[in-house]
């Protein structure tokens, strides 16, 4: 039974990843991702359900369209697998998800939603050198909502006890009585200041380089990063983003694939930084402060 949950979460991630591929494609063509059947981008033949099984269809078809035999981008199975693995990772990193209460479930869903948006930004920025507003604004909104949810314990109380009674008004009064209306505003202040510092730093780089080092989309992504990570994790994310970016940049220049002047999108590195900071930020910050600080 305990194995079934992780397997289900992984398979669910594969299916969601398949949808994210559609979102990435249709963001470019400005079609509605929820409307219309999927079709081959080359021959526009409508795809049957058995062409749309994540990863499996790609492997069975040898990476070619069933109808026109053109190569299907490897992006499709890669994004599907990455989504499945990311969902699994979030599930394993969450405590007690075998029998979660409402609160843990809400946190889990928040994280799944954020990881989907970040995956789309990662691939889209890599492909098209732009971070779409349609994705980065919802990411900022969700991170902000998460902080609000954290700051006002009344929401948490309502969420945890929603099953007890249908009388929400009395539940709210009860929560207020337990001092649950206004919590310490620390998480929100923490996130907001981190957002200001990250996006302000990116804005300086953007202005100083006239958009050559960093795009304006990265400035917006900085707002999300700060709200989502807060201190000290935002510094961990920035450190790893610049470190990985520098390493990849040097490798690409060495391979002469990219000259000094050519553009490398920065969004994917920022998102890798977010992932590292989210999974191990506390430990890394603690290690850093105990090793180098007084
Ligand atoms: Zn085709």
- Chain segment 261-293, per-residue pLDDT in tens: 567 899 999 999 999 999 888 888 888 878 776
- 71 CA → ligand 1 middle, Å: 8
Residue 181 has pLDDT above 50, yes or no: no
Residues 135 and 237 in one domain: yes
Please state, in angstroms and rounded to a whole number, the distance separating the CA atoms of residues 209 and 151: 37
- What pLDDT score does 238 carry? 96
Residues 107 and 213 in one domain: yes
78: number of Cβ within 10 Å? 15
Residues 278 and 246 in one domain: yes
Would you place residue 180 in the very low, low, confident or very high pLDDT band (cuts 50, 70, 90)? very low
Are residues 194 and 229 in contact, defined by beta-carbon separation less than 8 angstroms?
yes
191: number of Cβ within 10 Å? 26
User: Is 179 a domain residue?
Assistant: no
Q: Which of 147, 136, 159 is nearest to 270 (CA)?
A: 136
- 281 CA → ligand 1 middle, Å: 44
- What pLDDT score does 260 carry? 55
- 72 CA → ligand 1 middle, Å: 8
Residues 83 and 35 in one domain: yes
> Of the candidates 70, 93, 116, which is a domain's last residue?
93
Please state, in angstroms and rounded to a whole number, the distance separating the CA atoms of residues 129 and 248: 16
- 195 CA → ligand 1 middle, Å: 44
Residues 23 and 135 in one domain: no
- 27 CA → ligand 1 middle, Å: 20
Q: Which of 244, 268, 262, 270 is nearest to 125 (CA)?
A: 268
Residues 33 and 79 in one domain: yes
User: Is 232 a domain residue?
Assistant: yes
Residues 139 and 247 in one domain: yes
Burial of 278 (C-beta count, 10 Å sphere; 0-12/13-18/19+) = buried
284: containing domain = 100-151+185-294
> Of the candidates 58, 73, 93, which is a domain's last residue?
93
Q: What share of the chain is helix, strand, coil (3-state, %, to 5)?
A: 70, 0, 30
What does the pLDDT look like over 52-79, one tens digit per residue?
899 999 999 999 999 999 999 999 999 9
Mean pLDDT for the chain overall:
86
Residues 110 and 232 in one domain: yes
Residues 27 and 132 in one domain: no
DSSP-derived letter for residue 50 is: G
User: Is 119 a domain residue?
Assistant: yes
User: Is 178 a domain residue?
Assistant: no
- What pLDDT score does 5 carry? 87
User: Is 109 a domain residue?
Assistant: yes
CA dihedral 118, 193, 92, 273 (to 10 degrees): 50
- What pLDDT score does 113 carry? 96
Residues 209 and 116 in one domain: yes
What does the pLDDT look like over 7-38, one tens digit per residue?
999 999 999 999 999 999 999 888 887 888 88
User: Is 162 a domain residue?
Assistant: no
Would you place residue 158 in the very low, low, confident or very high pLDDT band (cuts 50, 70, 90)? confident
Please state, in angstroms and rounded to a whole number, the distance separating the CA atoms of residues 128 and 263: 11
Residues 130 and 89 in one domain: no
- What pLDDT score does 272 carry? 96
- What pLDDT score does 55 carry? 92
Determine the straight-line distance between the first and last CA of the chain, rounded to whole angstroms: 49
How many domains in the chain?
2
- 63 CA → ligand 1 middle, Å: 11
Structure tokens given for 227 = 């709200």
Residues 264 and 223 in one domain: yes
User: Is 174 a domain residue?
Assistant: no
User: Is 246 a domain residue?
Assistant: yes
What does the pLDDT look like over 114-157, one tens digit per residue?
999 999 999 999 999 999 999 999 999 999 998 888 777 677 77
> Of the candidates 93, 109, 127, which is a domain's last residue?
93
Please state, in angstroms and rounded to a whole number, the distance separating the CA atoms of residues 145 and 227: 10
- 41 CA → ligand 1 middle, Å: 7
- 52 CA → ligand 1 middle, Å: 13
- What pLDDT score does 176 carry? 62
């Amino acid at each position: 039974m305990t194995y079934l949950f992780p397997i289900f979460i992984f398979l669910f991630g594969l299916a969601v990843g398949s949808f994210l591929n559609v979102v990435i494609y249709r963001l470019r063509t400005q079609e509605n991702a929820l409307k219309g059947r999927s079709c081959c981008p080359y021959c526009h033949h409508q795809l049957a359900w058995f062409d749309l099984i994540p990863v499996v269809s790609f492997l069975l078809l040898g990476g070619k369209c069933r109808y026109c035999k053109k190569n299907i981008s490897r992006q499709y199975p890669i994004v599907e697998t990455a989504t499945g693995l990311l969902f699994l990772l979030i599930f394993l990193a969450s405590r007690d998800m075998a029998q979660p209460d409402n609160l843990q479930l809400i946190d889990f869903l928040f994280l799944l939603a954020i990881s989907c948006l970040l995956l789309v930004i990662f691939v889209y920025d890599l492909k098209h050198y732009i971070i779409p507003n349609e994705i980065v604004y919802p990411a900022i909104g969700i991170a902000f909502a998460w902080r609000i949810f954290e700051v006002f314990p009344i929401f948490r109380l309502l969420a945890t006890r929603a099953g007890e009674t249908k009388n929400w008004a009395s539940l709210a009064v009860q929560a207020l009585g337990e001092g649950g209306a206004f919590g310490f505003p620390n998480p929100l202040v923490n996130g907001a200041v981190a957002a200001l510092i990250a996006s302000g730093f990116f804005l300086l780089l953007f202005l100083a380089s006239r958009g050559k080092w960093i795009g304006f989309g990265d400035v917006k992504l900085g707002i999300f990063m700060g709200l989502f990570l807060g201190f000290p994790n935002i510094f961990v994310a920035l450190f790893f983003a610049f470190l990985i970016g520098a390493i990849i940049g040097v490798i690409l220049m060495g391979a002469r694939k990219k000259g000094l002047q050519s553009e490398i999108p920065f969004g994917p590195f920022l998102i890798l930084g977010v992932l590292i900071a989210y999974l191990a930020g506390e430990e890394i910050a603690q290690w850093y402060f105990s090793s180098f600080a007084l």
